[in-house]
Amino acid sequence: MECELRIKPDKHEPKEAEIVKGTEIISVPLIPLPKPFLERQLKFRRANIRFFMTREGNHDFAVHVGYMGTVNPDGPSPINIAAKGVGLLPRHDIEELAAEIESLIEEGMAKGEKETREKRLSFLLKLYEQIELDPYSFTTIEIYAKTTWRNIMHDPRCSVLFSSYRSTSFLINGVTEVLGPDTQEYRFVTGIHDLFHLPRSGERRRFPAVYRIWAIEAYNRTPGPKAGEKIV
Which CB sits closer to ligand FMN, 104 or 192? 192
Stretch that binds ligand FMN, among 100-108, 124-132, 137-145, 217-225 (CB under 6 A): 137-145
Which CB sits closer to ligand FMN, 32 or 85? 85
Q: Which DSSP symbol is given to 12?
A: S
Give the integer Cα–Cα distance in Å for 49 and 148.
29
Torsion (CA) 113, 60, 91, 171 in degrees, nearest 10: 140
The half-sphere exposure of 204 on its side-chain side, counting CA atoms within 13 A, is 21
- Which run of H or E residues covers position 179? strand 170-179
User: What string marks each residue from 102 to 131 as x (binds ligand FMN by CB under 6 A) or -?
Assistant: ------------------------------
Among 26, 42, 53, 65, binds ligand FMN (CB under 6 A): 65
Among 126, 144, 227, 228, binds ligand FMN (CB under 6 A): 144
Cβ pair 91, 169 in contact under 8 A: no
Among 41, 48, 137, 140, binds ligand FMN (CB under 6 A): 140
Which CB sits closer to ligand FMN, 72 or 168? 72
Peptide bond into 14 cis (omega under 30): no
142 near ligand FMN, rule: CB under 6 A:
yes
3-state secondary structure of 124: helix
Give the integer Cα–Cα distance in Å for 218 and 113.
38
72 near ligand FMN, rule: CB under 6 A:
no
**Stretch 73-102 residues interacting with ligand FMN (CB under 6 A):** 80, 82-85
Cβ pair 143, 207 in contact under 8 A: yes
Residue 51 backbone class (left: φ over 0; alpha: ψ -120 to 50; beta: rest): alpha
Which CB sits closer to ligand FMN, 141 or 231? 141
62 near ligand FMN, rule: CB under 6 A:
no
71 near ligand FMN, rule: CB under 6 A:
no
190 near ligand FMN, rule: CB under 6 A:
no
From the CB of 146, what's the least distance to ligand FMN, in Å? Answer: 3
- State in Å, rounded, how far the first CA of the chain is from the last one: 31
What is the contact surface with ligand FMN in residues (CB under 6 A)?
Answer: 65, 80, 82-85, 140-144, 146-148
